[in-house]
Amino acid sequence: MEYPVYETFHSWQGEGEHLGKSAFFVRLFGCPVHCPWCDSAGTWHPDYVPETIEKRTAASLAEEALEVNPEFVVVTGGEPCIHDLSALTRALGEKGLRCHLETSGAFAIRGDFDWIVLSPKWQALPKPEGLRQANEIKLIVEDETSIERWLEALGESIGGKTVWLNPEWSKRSDSRVLKSITEFVKARGAPFRAGLQAHKFYQADLLDAKSLPASPLGGNPSLGY
Ligand code: SF4
């Protein structure tokens, strides 16, 4: 089994329950979801995709991850669940590596993960079983109405899991977005928590020479999107 790999790098987890922990990232190529503010457009958008994409075996990815001795490996994308991840999680498990997944939840999760972060997207809503399998949920807050709209769409399916409210990165200084998160957390408390993408403030990923610069779609008026 070979996987199309956009990039691999060693950094730390910048979001959620495992914030700040050493992590090796495997970013797989391909995503049919197409969010207008995607921060990984190099994995799918025609204006950003690289000329060539390397195909890697699960074993070679696991060996590379083991070399940096991370606390866990994060399989991300793109949308990693368009691929059958069973061989990859098996290879990582054989090396004694814990395996985390970051997904939109719109596709069946194939593979054995120690931790699943589900971040739903309007363009392809999550499957109920994905929401059940998730260990934590990350909602992207684009405007003052985002949180209520997400709760209406997801309803009870969020269960008692921690629900992170993260400002969409191009809105990170938008006081209306930040205020809506703050007021919601103050009003509702658990399981809602204010979040952010801390690794971006640190530019932590870019310290690994193998990491590619982010290619955000949102907030790029010069390109018209
Ligand atoms: S944000 Fe995630 S789900 Fe949305 S287009 Fe980008 S990679 Fe795909």
Ranges of each domain in the chain: 2-202
Tokens of 197: 């993408």
Q: Looking at the chain, how many residues does it have? A: 225
Tens-place pLDDT, residues 132-171? 999 999 999 999 999 999 999 998 778 889 999 999 998 9
Q: State the pLDDT at residue 68.
A: 97
Q: In this structure, which residue's CA is closest to atom 4 in ligand 1?
A: 35
Which among 23, 16, 22 is positioned nearest to 116, based on CA atoms?
16
CA–centroid distance, residue 170 to ligand 1 (Å): 15
CATH level 3 topology of 2-202 = TIM Barrel (3.20.20)
Q: State the pLDDT at residue 108.
A: 98
Q: State the pLDDT at residue 221.
A: 67
- The rounded distance, in Å, linking the Cα atoms of 42 and 68 is 25
Whole-prediction pTM: 0.95
Q: Which residues of the chain register pLDDT less than 70?
A: 219, 221, 224-225
CA–centroid distance, residue 35 to ligand 1 (Å): 5
Mutational pocket test of ligand 1: of 7, 26, 34, 168, the residue with most ligand atoms within 8 Å of the beta carbon: 34
Q: State the pLDDT at residue 156.
A: 79
Amino acid making up residue 222: S
Mutational pocket test of ligand 1: of 40, 101, 169, the residue with most ligand atoms within 8 Å of the beta carbon: 40
CA–centroid distance, residue 169 to ligand 1 (Å): 13
Sheet order of strands, 54-57 included:
54-57, 2-12, 22-28, 72-76, 99-103, 115-118, 136-141, 162-167, 192-194
With contact defined as beta carbons under 8 Å apart, do 20 and 12 qualify?
A: yes
- The rounded distance, in Å, linking the Cα atoms of 43 and 17 is 25
Pocket of ligand 1 (CB under 6 A): 31, 33-35, 38, 40, 43, 77-79, 104, 121
What letters, b where the CB count within 10 A reaches 16 and e where it falls short, cover 73-91?
bbbbbbbbbbbebebbbbb
- The rounded distance, in Å, linking the Cα atoms of 97 and 59 is 12
In this structure, how many other beta carbons lie within 10 angstroms of the beta carbon of residue 190?
Answer: 9
Q: In this structure, which residue's CA is closest to atom 3 in ligand 1?
A: 33
